[in-house]
Amino acid sequence: MDAYEYILSKQVEWAYQQKITLIGSKNNRGRKAYTQNLDTNLFEPLLPDVLNNFIKGDGGELTGNP
């Protein structure tokens, strides 16, 4: 097992133990390694100003439109 697969498997295992539902990269397709929302993917929610800056960015990370 290479480093990427090892780390990913540990993250998926941790999510399972924490009862965090994972989805595929295209929601119901792809490997189930993504959280359903941003807050579940973080140790604590982003501050409102930080979240606003993140949403205003041009990457489309939260809208699924990179």
Encode pLDDT of 5-57 as tens digits: 999 999 999 999 999 999 988 777 888 988 888 888 888 989 999 988 888 87
pLDDT, average across residues 53-64: 73
56 three-state secondary structure? helix
pTM check: above 0.85: no
As a whole number, the mean pLDDT across the chain is 85
Q: CA–CA separation, 51 vs 12, rounded Å? A: 25
Q: What's residue 58's pLDDT?
A: 74
**Between these two residues, 49 and 64, which has the higher pLDDT value?**
49
